[in-house]
Structure 1
Amino acid sequence: MSAIFGIVNLDGSPVPSAHLEAMKHAMASWGPDGATTWSEGPVGLGQLLMYNTPESLNESLPLSNAGGDVVLTAAARIDNRQDLFRQLDLPPSERVGLPDSALILRAYEKWGTGCVSRLLGDWSVALWDARRRQLFLARDHFGVTGLYFYQGDRTFVFASCRSGLFSLDDVPRRLNRLRVPGDDLPSQDGSHGHYEAIGRLTVAQAMTVATTGTKSWTYWTPEDAPEIRLGSDREYLEAFMEIYTEAVRCRLRSHRPVATMLSGGLDSGSIATLAAQALAERGDRLSAFTAVPMYDVAQATPRGRSGNESKNAQAICDFAGNIDLTFIRGVTRTPVEAIKEAQRVLLSPHGIAIIVWYLELLETAQAQGFGAILDGWGGNLTVSWTGNRQRYLASLLRDRRWREYAREINAKRGVHPSPLWRTAADAVTPLIGPSLTELARRAARRDLVGRDSRRLLGKHTGSPPTHPEVTKARNPELQHFFRFGSGLNSTLDSFGAAFDLEIRIPAMDKRVIEFCQGIPLDQFCRDGRDRLLVKRAMSGLMPDGVVWDNKRGLQAADSSHRVRADATETAKTLTALEESHLVRQYVDLPRLRHTFEKICSSPEADTRHDTSMLLRGIGYAMFLQTFDDE
């Protein structure tokens, strides 16, 4: 994805060209195909270009309208071009080769700031409207593109990544001690993430900036999705497949070849299947990348999970007939090396174990000449959502459908054998009401996360934020992500840019989200089974052994093995971290070292959870270490 940046001097002083050049230089990796700037008086805009669609070859940004009073810069891939062509009444002669950024400018001229609700795809946009003397910023519905900003007394600066902001002397790089070592996301009170003065537009958020003040608003939420009621299961399935297929197909529009990640599960597997079908129609093949362990993980994999999904991935490829599979074993980086590299890319802490494979996968895709990667991320919130089973059972009770209720309880035990007490709990829990059930579950999860974090990261760790809109939502997991997880998906944009790639997420297409939000719960969970929507949709398109496999994939299953294999490097890292006064203040280093020693001394034990917390602790500690000079 391309990147954007800009400056508005609120005191009216001209923007120095050197400031725009500094931002452009700091963000150079985002623009393999060029970089341009524009300035006029107190406003300066810029773009770093990566050709991501055939039409992007015609792009020249920043772009002015015919009157010269609106100037736009954008990083965008618009997926509903044909709809917009019709709504804007553009003649066919103007449609061919029209860049997506020019389409956004046309939409703004017709609908103003309300245009953002009509744009589908991955995009971030900045427009200077000289008529209103204001800057308009917005970010897409899912927030794949990042957009950070700093507002001082005299200036407002924005960029697709933090490095662009920190290239300017006027932008402070200060640790937000109120959020250490919490997640890098805005809190409920509006405070910032890891950096004290740096803000970020969250998912589906827009903002205007003028000398009279700054205003921000959320222009869409998943809960806005209208209720969908059709006549039969078949109609729901047909409607879903039409939407999901289009969400995949529109993301195959690319200047360079598109590949896909393939874990062997339902999310990435269904995306790979639909992409392969679309490519087969034009005689092309699809390349897929699957992360596999380097060590034998059979003993470390718990019951009901799969630590090595290579067989499922290969089965999906063989069934499709036109998918070429490459296994990624994560051999080019140690866990500590991968964490350091991720921090350099993001300028924020990162300690997720899968990063070892993820960076190698992107590096391999870049070397093979791909320009975009399809990712199944977020599918468990939409297409393969398990369904809010407790709420579904509660609805059966509320409607006095006693027989269906009893059948569901018994069917669940038949599909997933469980002790009698668990079956009884399933039967009784809905009686206290779905919202209370969800609240209790969320509270238990917060306590677990908080306790585990404090075990390694000390007393300063807080629990993840929550909100009544989350606990009362039809899909609490999706709503929680929407409100608080916007930083997670924008990291995909940054990682992609580091390897000249665009990460594309079909399962979080707005149309897919709204459909999955609007249909009845029994389309997801029924007859004792869950994730029924995508399972029924993929039946016959993917191997039955994959579609109906009750095992769930286990990412980074051999992470403990890797920590033990690189014990010397990890021990040196911990010793170096002990020299940092900030790390000593915020991280419980004795517990961190004890956890490391436990992993090394227990090769036969299941220490995946300990390893996860160790790597997360190291990631936070490394980030804190960079602020020692404050």
Structure 2
Amino acid sequence: MRQEDFLLLVSRQGDEAGLDEGRLQQIERHSGLSLTQRWPRAALFCRDTNTVLSNDQNGAFLGRPRHGGEPPFHAVTPAMATGMLGAWDGSGLSRKLWGDFIAIRVDRRQSGSFSLHRSAMGHLPCYYRMSRSGELVVCSLVRDGLAVIGERPSVDWGQVANHLARQQLRLDATCIEGFHELAGGCELVIEQGRMPAIKRRWNPWTFACPNVWIASEDEAASRLRNVIEGVIAAQASRHNHLLLGLSGGLDSSIVAAGLQACGARFSAINLVTSDPTGDERDYAAIASQATGADLHLAPESEALVDWRRSDAAHLPRPVASSFTQSADRQHQHLARRLGASGYATGGGGDHIFCYTQSSTPLLDSLRHYGPGRRALRTSIDIARSADVSLANVWQAALRRSLRLSNSYRWEADVSYLAGEIAGIVAKAPRHGWGDAPHEIPPGKAMHVAWLQHAQNHMEGYGREQDLPMEWPLLAQPVVELCLRIPSWMWIAGGQNRAIARRAFRGALPDTLLDRRSKGSPESVLIRTYQASRSAILDTLRSGHLAGHGLLDIASLRMIPAREAAFRSVDYRRIMTLLDVEVWLQSWLDV
């Protein structure tokens, strides 16, 4: 549950009586939501009316929108929100505002017509479904939506198969049959006598086009720091105390520097693993000392992981990873002890700061400038960053250039999937943003694809059900600016995320900014598997995935023999399958 939870119920045409007082009261009792507004053909329910910025016969504004443009990012006032509803401009909402918000517009000229806009890169969920009786439900929690229309959940096994094959590709269709997500920056248009339609009001390709690229590394770094600090100041202003997950890596350290710059009150938590590859406490100590954060160390432990329970049980996609429960429980415990009002994370930094060892920046440089010193410099930077030879870089670039499409290729992971399923998912479904336009070079197309990757990592955490999580590095102003930075700038000097490092030079110690290593929490995942190996494999072999023919049972049965022979086993893949199976149980075994 979150304060911003909402539900909009639109009656079928000519059946306004379907929203009588008795039914509205029943919805309130069963959902825990409060009736907030009633229109001739619809009713809006919210968990906390304090999150409703504007609410009248023209519509409603939910959440916390902020003005875009350049920092400082001022909050939208109720009067401003009311004015925007009265002079509706769906495209303008995405251009002028950012944050976590839903705007609902009632068209009083066309009785029964609605428009619902979800903020681009917003963190307020929005799903919709037409019921069998013709009602439309739009909600932040799918379980609430199902209860209101009186239907039981049904799994979309085709979407489950797509998820298993391409876990990072987030489609508008969810894994609960009939429910679609209203993607960020889109508008749901509901008109009498017509099926609901989607209008895309925001598109990342607008900012990835070469004609809007930033020309110099100095300008890119200066503007990046300015916008990150502005976003962090805006997000921190709603909190009295934030708890930051601080690994001592670049991304979380940048968030710490931003919190210090705006004078926010915050503490930091570093998760310590028994495996040296995941022990980053020394770097976290350097970051906390540099930014004035009170650092708390907490041990990662498989004892805190209950792999039989999914932290995505309330979501229509199996996006939770069981091994993150260890980190979640430590965050929750410390947040309660400190009285924190929210969490902050550097999550998504690798994606939006274009962390790559690909040859595609070389192709972008060649396409933009042609052959010459610039391309040679880029190839040297890639070789240094990826620790490969120049010859390897140019060979990889040549192979990539021979592909007809400049779009990112979503490769399928079909390991442990049944043969017929592997054939079905061989071709990647089309994402709502579409293929890369012809003017977008392959490196920037990859950057946009990684932004898609990040979206499945922004939910499914146990801690977000207690307190809000702030994701400053994936906020719309940061995303739009980063997409305007050419791909070759991100690996300048042979350093990944080079512009982000340059942006915070002077705000963070060189020890952190020049760090090339990255820690990994994989040890918790592996120990969780090893502690319950037999039970986990039994669960997979006898579960819903196997029962619906999605898994290669023979391959699963061979895992113990492979381990006994000291042959490699993909523990992460097995645990991913398990997480999907447990999510299915949360929806079907009730």
- Which residues in structure 2 correspond to 1:48-87 (within 5 Å)? 48-49=47-48, 56=50, 63-64=55-56, 69-72=57-60, 74=62, 76-80=63-67
Any conservation in 2 of the 1:77–1:100 contact (CA below 8 Å)? no
Question: Structure 1 CA distance, aligned partners of 2:170 and 2:485?
Answer: 33
Question: Structure 1 CA distance, aligned partners of 2:289 and 2:509?
Answer: 9
Tell me the residue number matched to 1:128.
106
Question: Structure 2 vs 1, CA of residues 533 and 627 (structure 1 numbering), >3 Å: closer, same or farther?
Answer: closer
Question: Structure 2 vs 1, CA of residues 454 and 144 (structure 1 numbering), >3 Å: closer, same or farther?
Answer: farther
Corresponding letter in the other structure for 1:211: Q
Question: Structure 2 vs 1, CA of residues 589 and 232 (structure 1 numbering), >3 Å: closer, same or farther?
Answer: closer
Deviation at 1:514, TM superposition (A): 1.9
- Which residues in structure 2 correspond to 1:471-482 (within 5 Å)? 473-474=440-441, 475-480=444-449
Question: Structure 1 CA distance, aligned partners of 2:163 and 2:471?
Answer: 22
Question: Structure 2 vs 1, CA of residues 452 and 241 (structure 1 numbering), >3 Å: closer, same or farther?
Answer: farther
Question: Structure 1 CA distance, aligned partners of 2:215 and 2:406?
Answer: 33
2:334 pairs with 1:334? no
Cα deviation, 1:207-238, whole Å, max 9, x if unaligned, reads 11122322211101111126456675333322
- Which residues in structure 2 correspond to 1:18-167 (within 5 Å)? 19-21=23-25, 23-24=27-28, 27-28=31-32, 35-49=34-48, 56=50, 63-64=55-56, 69-72=57-60, 74=62, 76-80=63-67, 103-117=80-94, 118-132=96-110, 133-152=112-131, 153-167=133-147
Corresponding letter in the other structure for 2:478: V
Select the residue among 309, 321, 335 that pairs with 1:352.
Answer: 321
Cα deviation, 1:545-601, whole Å, max 9, x if unaligned, reads 221122233233331122222446536645xx61658635323344335436756x5
Any conservation in 1 of the 2:229–2:261 contact (CA below 8 Å)? no
Question: Structure 2 CA distance, aligned partners of 1:408 and 1:310?
Answer: 34
Tell me the residue number matched to 1:426.
393
Tell me the residue number matched to 2:7.
5
Secondary structure (helix, strand or coil) at the match of 1:313 reads helix
Corresponding letter in the other structure for 2:311: A
2:547 pairs with 1:583? yes
Any conservation in 2 of the 1:183–1:193 contact (CA below 8 Å)? no
Cα deviation, 1:501-534, whole Å, max 9, x if unaligned, reads 1112111222222222223334212233331101
Question: Structure 2 vs 1, CA of residues 26 and 456 (structure 1 numbering), >3 Å: closer, same or farther?
Answer: farther
Select the residue among 491, 497, 503 that pairs with 1:537.
Answer: 503
Corresponding letter in the other structure for 2:394: A
Question: Structure 1 CA distance, aligned partners of 2:240 and 2:358?
Answer: 40
Question: Structure 2 vs 1, CA of residues 625 and 179 (structure 1 numbering), >3 Å: closer, same or farther?
Answer: same
Any conservation in 1 of the 2:189–2:198 contact (CA below 8 Å)? yes
Cα deviation, 1:147-176, whole Å, max 9, x if unaligned, reads 011113521111111111121244452221
Secondary structure (helix, strand or coil) at the match of 1:360 reads helix
Cα deviation, 1:421-463, whole Å, max 9, x if unaligned, reads xx312123334565839869x54x614x234655998776556
Tell me the residue number matched to 1:89.
none
Any conservation in 1 of the 2:362–2:375 contact (CA below 8 Å)? no
Question: Structure 2 CA distance, aligned partners of 1:81 and 1:121?
Answer: 9
Tell me the residue number matched to 1:219.
201
Question: Structure 2 CA distance, aligned partners of 1:188 and 1:410?
Answer: 31
Any conservation in 2 of the 1:292–1:329 contact (CA below 8 Å)? yes
Question: Structure 2 vs 1, CA of residues 19 and 612 (structure 1 numbering), >3 Å: closer, same or farther?
Answer: farther
Corresponding letter in the other structure for 1:319: A
Question: Structure 2 vs 1, CA of residues 347 and 206 (structure 1 numbering), >3 Å: closer, same or farther?
Answer: closer
Question: Structure 2 CA distance, aligned partners of 1:428 and 1:216?
Answer: 42
Question: Structure 2 vs 1, CA of residues 583 and 235 (structure 1 numbering), >3 Å: closer, same or farther?
Answer: same
- Which residues in structure 2 correspond to 1:179-198 (within 5 Å)? 179-183=159-163, 192-198=173-179
Where does structure 2 lack aligned partners over 5 or more consecutive residues? none
Secondary structure (helix, strand or coil) at the match of 2:9 reads strand
Question: Structure 1 CA distance, aligned partners of 2:585 and 2:117?
Answer: 33
Secondary structure (helix, strand or coil) at the match of 2:329 reads helix
Question: Structure 2 vs 1, CA of residues 605 and 174 (structure 1 numbering), >3 Å: closer, same or farther?
Answer: same
Secondary structure (helix, strand or coil) at the match of 1:373 reads strand
Any conservation in 1 of the 2:115–2:189 contact (CA below 8 Å)? yes
Any conservation in 2 of the 1:45–1:73 contact (CA below 8 Å)? no
Any conservation in 1 of the 2:54–2:82 contact (CA below 8 Å)? no
Deviation at 1:126, TM superposition (A): 2.8
Select the residue among 586, 591, 595 that pairs with 2:559.
Answer: 595
Any conservation in 2 of the 1:392–1:522 contact (CA below 8 Å)? yes
Q: Report the count of equivalent residues.
A: 573
Where does structure 1 lack aligned partners over 5 or more consecutive residues? 51-55, 87-94, 299-305
Tell me the residue number matched to 1:489.
458
Question: Structure 2 CA distance, aligned partners of 1:379 and 1:402?
Answer: 31
After TM superposition, the structure 1 stretch with the greater mean CA deviation from structure 2, 183-192 or 124-133, is: 183-192
Corresponding letter in the other structure for 1:310: R
Any conservation in 2 of the 1:6–1:157 contact (CA below 8 Å)? yes
Cα deviation, 1:124-154, whole Å, max 9, x if unaligned, reads 2334343433222121111422101111352
Question: Structure 1 CA distance, aligned partners of 2:72 and 2:232?
Answer: 21
Question: Structure 2 CA distance, aligned partners of 1:310 and 1:202?
Answer: 37
Select the residue among 224, 228, 235 that pairs with 2:219.
Answer: 235
Any conservation in 2 of the 1:37–1:45 contact (CA below 8 Å)? yes
2:434 pairs with 1:446? no
Any conservation in 2 of the 1:276–1:323 contact (CA below 8 Å)? no
Select the residue among 497, 502, 514 that pairs with 1:548.
Answer: 514
Question: Structure 2 CA distance, aligned partners of 1:572 and 1:428?
Answer: 45
After TM superposition, the structure 1 stretch with the greater mean CA deviation from structure 2, 458-467 or 139-148, is: 458-467
Any conservation in 2 of the 1:319–1:542 contact (CA below 8 Å)? yes
Any conservation in 2 of the 1:180–1:586 contact (CA below 8 Å)? no
Question: Structure 2 vs 1, CA of residues 581 and 559 (structure 1 numbering), >3 Å: closer, same or farther?
Answer: closer
Question: Structure 2 vs 1, CA of residues 564 and 498 (structure 1 numbering), >3 Å: closer, same or farther?
Answer: same
2:184 pairs with 1:203? yes
Corresponding letter in the other structure for 1:266: L
Tell me the residue number matched to 2:494.
528
Question: Structure 1 CA distance, aligned partners of 2:71 and 2:505?
Answer: 34
With the length of structure 1 as denominator, give the TM-score of the two structures: 0.78
Corresponding letter in the other structure for 2:9: I
Deviation at 1:389, TM superposition (A): 4.6
Question: Structure 2 CA distance, aligned partners of 1:349 and 1:509?
Answer: 23
- Which residues in structure 2 correspond to 1:362-373 (within 5 Å)? 362-364=331-333, 366-368=335-337, 369-373=339-343
Deviation at 1:410, TM superposition (A): 4.5
